[in-house]
Amino acid sequence: MSEKHLKESFVSNLNGTSIGEISLGLSIAPLCILSRGLIFISLYQKFGEIVYSWKSCLFLDFSLLVLPQVLSCTVLSDFLYLVVGCISVMCVLHLYLIYRNRTLYKNTSLKKICKSFLHARIEDQHVPSVTTFRVLINLFTAISILAVDFPVFPRRYAKTETYGTGIMDLGVACFTFANALVSPEARSPLEETTSAFHRVKKQLFSVWPLVFLGFGRLISVRAIDYHEHVSEYGVHWNFFFTLAFVRVLTSFLLTLIWKQKIWIVATVIIFTYQIVLEMTNLKTFILYGSDQSQRHGFLQSNREGIFSVIGYVVIYMFGVQIGSYLLKKRIFVKELLELFIKLIIISIMIFLIMTVVQNYVEPISRRMANLPFCIWAIGQCTGWLSFIYFCDLILVFVQYLLPGSCVPSTWTIGNVTHSHQKKDQRKEMNFCLIHAINRNQLLFFLHSNILTGLVNLKIDTIHSSSCFSLIVLLTYMSVNCLLSYILHVSNITVKLW
């Protein structure tokens, strides 16, 4: 068997892992952000204002944010409970020490501090948790697309063949949901009225880079005979085509319905799609084709990519609905807390619905993007986002206890002493990996894919030892992060439209 076919079989016919393990693994990134923020605050409490160079910030962020994620999906994948427990204990310990050594509110009870904190004003015009959520998706994707080709990456985390849940099954769904959160439809006011086709025309122009990249990937993969998992999207289809079509189709649909009713229309679409899957031969066609093996013609060759667009459109629509609520202007901390509670309730309800649907309809299938898959993806994204929100709230509370302290990518609290010092320090703390990747997210994804291809062309990944695999992965992520950081500190934003 050729090396190409070996690599294709290495990522094929897999059954995934449990939703619980996926949720546990996803919780590590927000905990790392919380731990990193508490370390910054502890250093400020002990040594006062520290001026960090961009190299120091990059080293700290890579060590605290990227390294734990690489380890948790490779050599520590069988010890996730231990990893989560250790990081959580470290966070609690830091939180306790900061609270015990506070100088402000020294003689004030915790109840009074919390009451005062809830009425503190928020100065930010954006939602840092959404930015963090989108960046973490990029980081997870960058790590996974290369790690999956090494034996050190558990096969249960890779994409499933027909039914099941692997961490990589969430990739496209998370990107779709994240894009919807900050889409023009989510950011526009409810009362805004525009021409029925104005938004569609704008989207048709804005997605041309995705279409261009889709054709670029298709041509390059064919030119170098790169290994592909055909049942993922099909013969010609790929990730970029899915994102482009989802954005255009959803923009068209959203011009026809009220913004408050998006979730209702999305529910009707996905239930109709599931009924068609059950009542016709569409499910058999998507999974096996019309002749059980061959892929002739454009539709049959790309059946997974084409029909799964329906599910991703639904995920996008729910993302717009949630994003329109998330991005509302909030003035006080108590409003942020209320939002967090609502997000938690929504995610719990979605997971309960998913359990019922899985038991009485059919299992989750990324390949079809069926009803259970869409419910799972929306619930997982909402739950993950709510946990990021929770960690941000803790960091904001600690910063409230210690005026002048500053953590990048969190909310700014107004009406505290030394606010001028906080603003000055925030300029220094702008040297942040989250800011750097967020500045050029599409470029980060592109050079991650290019480096992944280069590594696979030069290295026999499937026969690599765990130690060598880990060295390659950390070097690869170091290069990715360094490229984004250099652009960030040079104040360069690469826009393709």
Give pLDDT tens digits for 297-354.
888 889 999 999 999 999 999 999 999 999 888 889 999 999 999 999 999 999 999 9
Find, among 73, 75, 39, 72, the residue nearest to 57 by Cα.
Answer: 39
Q: Return the pLDDT at 82.
A: 96
Q: Select the highest-mean-pLDDT range: 33-47, 113-127, 283-297.
A: 33-47
Find, among 45, 41, 37, the residue nearest to 103 by Cα.
Answer: 45
Q: Return the pLDDT at 19.
A: 95
- CA angle at 131 for the pair 386 and 195, rounded to the nearest 5°: 100
Residue 192 has pLDDT above 70, yes or no: no
Which of 176-180, 204-208, 300-304 has the lowest average pLDDT? 204-208
In a domain? residue 495 = no
Q: Return the pLDDT at 370.
A: 95
DSSP H or E stretch at residue 156: none
Q: Return the pLDDT at 77.
A: 95
Residue 479 has pLDDT above 50, yes or no: yes
DSSP H or E stretch at residue 427: helix 419-428
In a domain? residue 17 = yes
Burial class of residue 189 in the structure, from the number of CB atoms within 10 Å of its CB (0-12 exposed, 13-18 middle, 19+ buried): exposed
In a domain? residue 497 = no
338: which 2 tokens?
A: 């209320």
Q: Return the pLDDT at 169.
A: 93
DSSP H or E stretch at residue 294: none
DSSP H or E stretch at residue 363: none
Residue 426 has pLDDT above 70, yes or no: no
Q: Return the pLDDT at 184.
A: 85
370 touches 362 (CB < 8 A): yes
> What is residue 165's three-state secondary structure?
strand
405 touches 412 (CB < 8 A): no
Which residue is it, tokens 């693994």? Answer: 25
464: which 2 tokens?
A: 């690599």
445 touches 141 (CB < 8 A): yes
In a domain? residue 496 = no
400 touches 375 (CB < 8 A): no
Report the number of distinct structural domains present in the chain: 1
Local confidence band at 256 (pLDDT 50, 70, 90 cut-offs): confident
Arithmetic mean of pLDDT, 444-464: 92
Arithmetic mean of pLDDT, 152-165: 93
Q: Return the pLDDT at 496.
A: 59
273 touches 371 (CB < 8 A): yes
Residue 253 has pLDDT above 60, yes or no: yes
Residue 79 has pLDDT above 50, yes or no: yes
392 touches 330 (CB < 8 A): no
Arithmetic mean of pLDDT, 405-415: 79
Residue 291 has pLDDT above 80, yes or no: no
User: At CB < 8 A and 24+ separation, what contacts does 175-178 make?
Assistant: 175/137, 175/141, 175/239, 175/243, 176/242, 176/243, 176/246, 176/312, 176/315, 176/316, 176/319, 177/315, 177/316, 177/318, 177/319, 177/377, 177/378, 177/381, 178/133, 178/134, 178/137, 178/319, 178/381
User: At CB < 8 A and 24+ separation, what contacts does 288-291 make?
Assistant: none
14: which 2 tokens?
A: 């897999």
367: which 2 tokens?
A: 């390949």
List alpha helices for 119-165, DSSP H.
128-147
Domain residues for the domain of 167 are 3-489
Local confidence band at 1 (pLDDT 50, 70, 90 cut-offs): low
Local confidence band at 195 (pLDDT 50, 70, 90 cut-offs): low
In a domain? residue 223 = yes
Report the alpha-carbon distance of residue 65 to residue 75 in Å, rounded. 16
Q: What percent of the chain has a predicted confidence (pLDDT) above 90?
A: 63
Local confidence band at 497 (pLDDT 50, 70, 90 cut-offs): low
358: which 2 tokens?
A: 């899985």
Q: Return the pLDDT at 258.
A: 78
Residue 488 has pLDDT above 50, yes or no: yes
CB crowding 113-127: b at 16 or more within 10 Å, else e: beeebeebebeeeeb
Q: Return the pLDDT at 293.
A: 60
Q: Return the pLDDT at 423.
A: 47
Local confidence band at 2 (pLDDT 50, 70, 90 cut-offs): low
In a domain? residue 330 = yes
Ramachandran assignment for 460, one of left (phi > 0), alpha (psi -120 to 50 degrees), beta (any other): beta
**Amino acid (1-letter code) at residue 69:** Q
CB crowding 64-103: b at 16 or more within 10 Å, else e: bbbebbbbbbbeebeebeebbeebeeebeebbeebeeeee
Residue 420 has pLDDT above 60, yes or no: no
Q: Return the pLDDT at 421.
A: 45
Report CA Rg, the chain.
Answer: 23
In a domain? residue 494 = no
Average pLDDT, the chain: 88
Backbone angles phi, psi at 408, to 5 degrees: -65, 150
Local confidence band at 280 (pLDDT 50, 70, 90 cut-offs): very high
With residues binned 3-state (H G I as helix, E B as strand, rest as coil), the percentages for the chain, rounded to 5, are 70, 0, 30
